[in-house]
């Protein structure tokens, strides 16, 4: 079956603009995660969804970042008033059930965001 997909694969925007990044998790996976990865660094946790609700959004850096998952499947990460420091690869992952310790996370290829 299909893995986690993310669109667009690349996004170039200007400082101050609004962007949306989309994640399609593996069908049937209830847990969904967003991470941000800067060059030469490991992924940084942003937010976790269990079903439609954000169970943990403690990793969102500020209120310019927001994510939704209205039907418990596709998720959109929204960034307002983008800044150059937002440039990174945004990774999405999904797992089958509760997001517990032994649930394997399957990652998408990421969206590379560049803010000029």
Closest distance between another protein and the C-beta of residue 33, in Å?
7
| Residue of 1, 2, 63, 101 that binds another protein (CB under 8 A) | 101
Nearer to another protein, 21 or 93 (CB): 93
Q: What are phi and psi of 80, to 5 degrees?
A: -95, 155
Choose between 2 and 101: whose C-beta lies nearer to another protein: 101
Quote the least distance from Cβ 2 to another protein, whole Å.
14
Output the DSSP codes for 40-103.
TS--EEEEEEETTEEEE-TT--STTEEEE-TTSS-EEEEE-S--GGG-EEEEEEEESSS--TTP
Do 61 and 6 contact (CB within 8 A), yes or no?
no
Q: Are 20 and 6 in contact (CB under 8 A)?
A: no
What is the nearest approach in angstroms of another protein to the Cβ of residue 72? 16
- Build a one-symbol-per-residue string for 37-66: x at contacts with another protein by CB under 8 A, - elsewhere: ---xxxxxx--x------xx-xx-------
Positions that interact with another protein (CB under 8 A): 4, 31, 33, 40-45, 48, 55-56, 58-59, 91-93, 99-102, 104-110
């Amino acid at each position: 079956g299909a893995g986690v997909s993310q669109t667009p694969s690349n996004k170039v925007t200007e400082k101050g603009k609004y962007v949306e990044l989309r994640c399609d998790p593996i069908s049937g996976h209830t847990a969904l995660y967003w991470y941000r990865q800067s060059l030469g660094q490991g992924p940084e946790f942003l937010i976790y969804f269990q079903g439609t609700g954000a169970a943990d959004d403690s990793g969102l850096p500020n209120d310019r970042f927001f994510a939704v998952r209205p039907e418990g499947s596709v998720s959109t990460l929204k960034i307002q008033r983008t800044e150059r420091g937002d440039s990174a690869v945004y990774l999405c992952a999904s797992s089958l059930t509760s997001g517990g310790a032994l649930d394997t996370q399957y990652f998408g290829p990421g969206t590379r965001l560049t803010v000029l």
